[in-house]
Amino acid sequence: MGSSYTFTCTNCGYQAESSGKLDSGMMAVVEPYICNNCNELTDVLVGEFGYKIDKSDLADDKKDYYLCSNCSSQNITLWDTKLKPCPKCGGKMKKGQEVIMWD
């Protein structure tokens, strides 16, 4: 079962909901990315049934994988889960309360 948390920037106050790490439910596997088009932290679909699928190994029918969940851009960068940079100002994002458990 996957979980999403509120992350808040300690510098500018930007907030986003994310797993904060590679996470999976029963079917979907997500990982946090920064969208370079809309400057949002977003969980991106990267696999299924507990397994991450490398972008180079995706079948043609997996067109909704590795896309920003806000604007559908492919211009995404894996979020550094150790440094947790804010996509708006570069400050540090702090993990807050659990928002939802999903499957």
- pLDDT tens digits, 2-12: 999 999 999 99
Determine the structural domain holding residue 88 and report its residue range.
Answer: 2-102
Q: What is the DSSP string of 3-37?
A: EEEEEEETTT--EEEE-SSSEE-SSEEEEEEEETT
pLDDT at 29: 96
The yes-or-no verdict on residue 103 having pLDDT over 80 is no
**pLDDT tier for residue 59 given thresholds of 50, 70 and 90:** confident
pLDDT at 63: 82
Count of domains for the chain: 1
The letter for the amino acid at 75 is: N
Q: Residue 31 in contact with residue 55, Cβ under 8 Å?
A: no
14-23, 43-52, 53-62: the lowest-pLDDT one:
53-62
